[in-house]
Structure 1
C-alpha cells in the first residue's frame, strides 16, 4: 500500500461572521480522492481550519488505511479507480463489525439523481456537494468530529446546504437544475455561448473564499495543466471509440471544473459523459464544445484575472 501523505496542521482562520469551528483537538482526517488538484483543494481547506489529514487516492487504500490507524472522519470521493467510495464504505462497515463507527462523509460533484440514496445505502453518514464551502465543511466537522448537538439538529442526513448553492451564484444553480437532461438537450444548450448568466467562465473571487489566496497562481496552473491532460486523454479515448474511458475522463474533468467554479466547463463535460456509449454521433461535437469552453476559461485566466500567472 502507498502510505498516506501526512500534512501538518494550520491555524483556524474562520471569520467571526461564519460558523465557528469547535476545538479540533488535533484530530486526524482521512481524505480519499484520486484527482491531484482536488486532493490539494481538500487538504488546503482542512489545514486552514487547523486539521491534520492523511491522503489516499482510491477506495482500496482508504480501507487499508482505516485498518491500520484511527481517524476522526473520512472524506470520501465516490468515483475513484480500483475501488470506488461506495464499495470502500461497504467494506469499512463490514470490518467495523458494529464495534466502532468512523464517520464517512461523501464528497461528490455528480449532482445525479440517486447519488444521496447510494451514499446512504453504502453506509455513509453525510454528504458534501462540491465545491465544498468553508461553512459546510465547518458544519460537518462540528457535527461528526466535535459532536456538536447544535450542528446535528436541523441538518438532515445527506442534505447539502442550500445556502451554499445560493452563495455560489447562477452557475451552480444551473449545474444542479437539470440533472436529467438528455444528451440532445445538452448539445443544444452547449451550442449557444456564453451559457451562464455571467460572462465569467470561472469565479476567481469565490476560489479565494473557498481555498484561500495563498499560492493561488500555482493552484490555477495545476488546474489548467490537469484539464489539458484530461482533454488529451479524452481525445485519445474518442479516437479509440472507448466509451468507458470517455465517460471516466469526462467525469474527472466535470468534477475538477466544479470545484474550481468553472460551471460551464463542467456542464460541457457532463454532456460528454452522458453521451458516451449512447449517442456516438454527438461525441465529437460535444468534445469540440468542451475544448472551446476550456479555451474560454484559459483565456479569461491569462487576461489578468489571477495575478502571477
Structure 2
C-alpha cells in the first residue's frame, strides 16, 4: 500500500516482488496529474488488493452559453447539409455544370456534391469551352439556353478541340422540352439529354452510366423524363417536386434557394412585360426560357408553363398569343411568391 503514494511520480516502479503485477507508472499518470492541476482540478484513485483500481479527476467547468449551443447546432446543420445521400451509391468523378441561373447552379452543385462528385460551375457556353480545354472532366451537364454562347454552340466548339477533350461526354439540360428537342440535341453532338426539373435518382443514373462506360451509345444515358407542356396538368406549386427538392438539397439550404429564385423572377417578369409592350418577340423568348427553367426546378409549374407558352409564342413570332398570355404573368408570379414564402416559413420553424 505504501507504493501507492508514488503512483503520480515520473518513472516510478514498484518493488521487485510486485513488478510483474503492477509494472511502473511511466509518464501517463504524472502528465494526467499536471493537466488536471493546470485546469484547477484534482485527481486521485481508489484501490483494493485483488479487486482493482478506480482513477478519477474533477475539474471546474462553466455551463455552455447560448452562443455555444447555437454554434454547435450550426455545425450540426452544416454536417447534415453536405452529408452524402444514404440511399444512393457514392460516385467518384469530376463534373462541369454549365448553367446561367444562380438558383439552378446551387441546386445542381449541391445534388452532385452529395453524390460524392467534384463539381465546377460556369455560367455560359464560352466559359464551358475554356474549362473543358484546361481540365479533364468526366462529364459536362450543359444547359441549352445561356448568354454569350448557348449549349449547342458550346458543344460544337468542344467537339473541335484538339486531343481527348473533344470526346468528352456532354448531356443536355433543358426545362419542359419542346417536341423534337431531344433529337436536335443529339444531332448537334450531345451524348444524352435530361429534362428539368432533374430528379436526383435520374441524375445519379445518368452520371453513373457515363462513369461506368464512357463508350456507351447516347441512348443509354438519355432521360425518359420528357415533358410535353400541352399534356401537363398545371397548378401553381407542384408540392411533390418541391418536397423532392427539399429532400435532395436539405431543409437548411431550401430557404436560400427560394430566396435566390424569388429575387430573380421579378427581373424576368418585368423584362418580358416590357418586351411585349415593344413587340420584341426574340427578347420574350430569351427571357422566358430561364424563367421556365428555374420555375420548373422550384415546382412552380404554373409559372413554368406560362413561361413555356410565352417562349414558344416568341419563337413563332405570335404577337397575339403573347399579348394574351403576358397579362397573366404578374398575378401568377404574386401567387407563386406567396406559396413559396409559406413553404419557406414552414421549413424554418
The TM-score normalised by the length of structure 2 is 0.68
Alignment check: 8 A CA contact 1:107 1:130 kept: yes
Cα separation, partners in 2 of 1:211 and 1:92, compared to 1, 3 Å: same
Which of 176, 180, 190 is matched with 2:228 structurally? 176
Alignment check: 8 A CA contact 1:136 1:161 kept: no
Q: Deviations for 1:26-50, whole angstroms, at most 9, x for unmatched residues?
A: x321111111111111111111112
Separation in 1, partners of 2:104, 2:271: 18
**Cα RMSD after superposing both structures:** 2.8
Q: Which residue of 2 aligns with 1:21?
A: 90
Which of 283, 299, 303 is matched with 2:342 structurally? 303
Q: Deviations for 1:83-133, whole angstroms, at most 9, x for unmatched residues?
A: 111111111112146786211111111411121112211211111111111
Separation in 2, partners of 1:75, 1:49: 15
Q: Deviations for 1:64-94, whole angstroms, at most 9, x for unmatched residues?
A: 1111121111110011112111111111112
Cα separation, partners in 2 of 1:96 and 1:139, compared to 1, 3 Å: farther
Indicate the SS of the match to 1:145.
Answer: helix
The alpha carbon displacement at 1:199 in A equals 6.9
Separation in 2, partners of 1:74, 1:160: 15
Separation in 1, partners of 2:165, 2:321: 51
The alpha carbon displacement at 1:177 in A equals 5.5
The alpha carbon displacement at 1:139 in A equals 0.9
Q: Which residue of 1 aligns with 2:133?
A: 67
Asked which structure has the greater RCO (Cα within 8 Å, sep 6+), the reply is 1
Q: Which residue of 2 aligns with 1:259?
A: 297
Indicate the SS of the match to 1:15.
Answer: coil
The alpha carbon displacement at 1:261 in A equals 1.3
Q: Deviations for 1:3-52, whole angstroms, at most 9, x for unmatched residues?
A: xxxxxxx9662233xx4234x1xx32111111111111111111111222
Cα separation, partners in 2 of 1:128 and 1:96, compared to 1, 3 Å: farther
What pairs with 1:90-239 in structure 2 (closer than 5 Å)?
90-96=156-162, 101-147=167-213, 156-157=219-220, 159-162=222-225, 176=228, 178=230, 196=234, 200=237, 202-203=239-240, 204-239=242-277
Q: Which residue of 2 aligns with 1:172?
A: none
- Larger CA Rg, structure 1 vs 2: 2
Separation in 1, partners of 2:133, 2:165: 13
The alpha carbon displacement at 1:148 in A equals 9.1
Separation in 2, partners of 1:236, 1:139: 41
The alpha carbon displacement at 1:224 in A equals 0.9
For these two proteins, the number of residue pairs brought into alignment is 266
Separation in 2, partners of 1:138, 1:117: 22
Separation in 2, partners of 1:302, 1:159: 35
Structure 1: any 5+ residue segments left out of the alignment? 1-9, 166-174, 180-188, 190-194
Structure 2: any 5+ residue segments left out of the alignment? 1-80
Alignment check: 8 A CA contact 2:98 2:123 kept: yes
Indicate the SS of the match to 1:95.
Answer: coil
Which of 249, 262, 270 is matched with 2:287 structurally? 249
Which of 80, 83, 95 is matched with 2:146 structurally? 80
Cα separation, partners in 2 of 1:116 and 1:97, compared to 1, 3 Å: farther
Cα separation, partners in 2 of 1:285 and 1:55, compared to 1, 3 Å: same
What pairs with 1:264-303 in structure 2 (closer than 5 Å)?
264-276=302-314, 278-303=317-342
The TM-score normalised by the length of structure 1 is 0.76
Separation in 2, partners of 1:111, 1:234: 20
Alignment check: 8 A CA contact 1:11 1:50 kept: no
Alignment check: 8 A CA contact 2:237 2:339 kept: yes
Q: Deviations for 1:206-259, whole angstroms, at most 9, x for unmatched residues?
A: 221233222211211111111111111112222322211111111111111111
